[in-house]
Amino acid sequence: MPCLRPRTRGPDELTRVNLLLLAALIASALYLVRTSYESRRLFHALDRARQEQTRLDIEYKRLDAERQAQATHLRVEKVAREKLRMRTATPAVTQYVVDGPVPAASAAGPAAGATP
């Protein structure tokens, strides 16, 4: 019966395997460094976006409160009186228009003999 001996590898073959494993290890390490850097960069961008969201929420609430303050009935009335010089309608300043029949001359439009 033949004796089965394990095959022995030569120093050149072991060196190639070791170099291949070393290359795989370096590639894996570089990929890990790149992935870690990308993760930190994305986390920083996310943190900045959240800060911007918080700042915009605060500004929106401030502007909404300012809008509500500007739209109160008393303020609108005050602005109308002071800036637009509007006044409350009283019977003394009210003009009434009577809705009656339209005169024939204005209903027919321009005069029949007139040319533009």
The tokens for 76 are 């609108």
Report the number of distinct structural domains present in the chain. 1
Helix H or strand E segment including 34: helix 11-70
* pLDDT tens-place string over residues 94-110: 888 888 777 666 555 55
Evaluate if residue 115 carries a pLDDT over 70.
no
The tokens for 98 are 């009577």
The parent domain of residue 82 ranges over 13-88
27 assigned to some structural domain = yes
103 assigned to some structural domain = no
21 assigned to some structural domain = yes
Are 85 and 79 in contact by the 8 Å Cβ rule? The answer is no
102 assigned to some structural domain = no
68 assigned to some structural domain = yes
51 assigned to some structural domain = yes
Evaluate if residue 68 carries a pLDDT over 80.
yes
93 assigned to some structural domain = no
54 assigned to some structural domain = yes
- The secondary structure of residue 17, as a DSSP letter, is H
Q: Which residue has the higher pLDDT, 35 or 112?
A: 35
What predicted TM-score, i.e. pTM, was given to this entire model? 0.48
